[in-house]
Amino acid sequence: MNALKGIALQIGATFLFTIMSALVRIVSAHVPTGEVVFARSFFALFPLLVMLAWRREIGAAIRTANPLGHIIRGTVGVCSMGLGFSALALIPLADATAIGFTAPLLTVILAAIFLRERVQIYRWAAVVVGLGGVVIMLWPHLAGDFDTPGHKIGALMALIAAGFTAGAMIQVRRLTQTETTPAIVFYFQALAAVAGLASAAWGWVIPTPLEAVLLVSTGIIGGVGQILLTESYRYAPASVVAPFSYSAMLWSLLLGFILFAEVPPLLVLLGGAIVIGAGLFVIWRERQLGIDRAKEDAAATPPAGPAP
C-alpha cells in the first residue's frame, strides 16, 4: 500500500476525466451525442486493452459468468453517459460537475432499496442535507437566471444522469460477486461502443479534422483516466482516495473559466459545497463502519492454539 501514490493517481484520473468532459462540451456543439458516446467508449478500449495485455489479464476480461448482468450495467451506464454528455452541451462545465456529485448520495438510497443494505441515521441525514444542496444548485437553472435556452433541460439531464450513475454503481456491486474488475470495465466499454454505434441509424455527421481529433482524444483520455482510477484503488483504500475525486470541482472551475469564460453562480457553488460535504461525510461514515466491522470480526475469531 502506498497512500500518496493512490491519492496522486486519483487526482490524475479526476483531472483527465474533467479534460474529457471539457472536450465533450466542445465537440457536442456539432456532433450528435450517440456519436460522442461511441468515440468515448470505442477509443477508450485501446489503452484498456494495452493495460490488460501488459498484465496478461485479457482472459480475465473476456471470461464472464453473468453476461446479462453486464448488459444491464451497460444499458444503465450508457443512459448515464448519454444524458451527461447532453447536459454538458447545455450547461456550464462546473455546474454539470457539481450536479454529478449527487450520484454517491443517490447510491446510498438505491443500495437501501435494491441491495437491502442497512443505512443508519447518520448517512440518511447526510443524504437529506446533500439533496438540499442539490435544490440550491438547481435553483438558478430552474428559476430562469440564465439567458441561454436549454439550461433547465440541461440541469435536469445532469441530475437524471447522476441517478443512472448511481444505478450503475449498484449493478457494479452485484457484478463484483462473480466478475473480475477487468471484465466489468471491458464489457462496459465494449457495450457502450456498440450502443453508440447503433445510434448511427438516427444520423451521424462527418466530423471536421479538428472534431475527429477531439473525439479520438475524448476516448483515449477517458480510457487512461479509467486506468489511473483503477490503479488508485490498488495502492490505497477507497476511503482514502475517494474524497480526492471531489477535486473535479476545482478542475472544472479552472477549465470552465479558461476555455469557456464560465463563472458559475454563487448558489451553484454553495449547493456544490453542501453536496461535497455530505458526500465526504458518507465516505467517512463508511470508513468508520468498516473499522467497526473489522474489530467485531477480530473479536469473534478465536485465538489460534499452540502449534503442535
Question: Domain for residue 301, yes or no?
Answer: no
Which amino acid is residue 295, in one-letter code? K
Determine the pLDDT at residue 291.
64
Phi-psi region of 116 (alpha: psi -120 to 50; beta: other; left: phi over 0): left
Q: Is the CB of residue 48 less than 8 Å from the CB of residue 186? A: yes
Question: Domain for residue 128, yes or no?
Answer: yes
Q: How far is CA 231 from the centre of its chain?
A: 15
Determine the pLDDT at residue 122.
85
Question: Domain for residue 164, yes or no?
Answer: yes
Distance CA 124, CA 222 (A): 32
Determine the pLDDT at residue 298.
55
The three-state secondary structure class of 144 is: coil
Which amino acid is residue 32, in one-letter code? P
Q: Is the CB of residue 152 less than 8 Å from the CB of residue 141? A: yes
The set of cell numbers assigned to 202 is 438516427
Q: Is the CB of residue 105 less than 8 Å from the CB of residue 130? A: yes
Question: Domain for residue 17, yes or no?
Answer: yes
Question: Domain for residue 295, yes or no?
Answer: no
**DSSP one-letter code for 89:** T
Among 218, 192, 161, smallest CA distance to 38 is for 192
Among 178, 215, 238, smallest CA distance to 43 is for 215
Question: Domain for residue 297, yes or no?
Answer: no
Expressed as residue numbers, the domain containing 200 is 3-290
Question: Domain for residue 304, yes or no?
Answer: no
Q: Which residue do the cell numbers 456544490 mark?
A: 272
Determine the pLDDT at residue 276.
93
The set of cell numbers assigned to 104 is 454517491
Determine the pLDDT at residue 239.
74
Determine the pLDDT at residue 256.
94
Main-chain phi, psi angles of 149, to 5 degrees: -60, 150
Phi-psi region of 13 (alpha: psi -120 to 50; beta: other; left: phi over 0): alpha
Question: Domain for residue 209, yes or no?
Answer: yes
Among 159, 173, 165, 170, smallest CA distance to 275 is for 159
Per-residue CA distances from 242 to 33, 245, 285 (Å):
29, 6, 13
**DSSP one-letter code for 118:** -
Distance CA 158, CA 58 (A): 34
Per-residue pLDDT of the chain (308 residues; tens, 9 = 90+): 688 898 899 999 999 999 999 999 999 989 999 999 999 999 999 999 999 999 999 998 999 999 999 999 999 999 999 999 999 999 999 999 999 999 999 998 998 898 888 888 888 999 999 999 999 998 888 776 666 667 889 999 999 999 999 999 999 989 988 999 899 999 999 999 999 999 999 989 999 999 999 999 999 999 999 999 888 888 887 778 888 899 999 999 999 999 999 988 898 999 999 999 999 988 887 777 666 665 555 555 555 444 34
Among 130, 178, 25, 136, smallest CA distance to 88 is for 25
pTM: 0.89
Counting the structural domains of the chain, the total is 1
Sign of the alpha-carbon torsion through 6, 120, 110, 173: positive
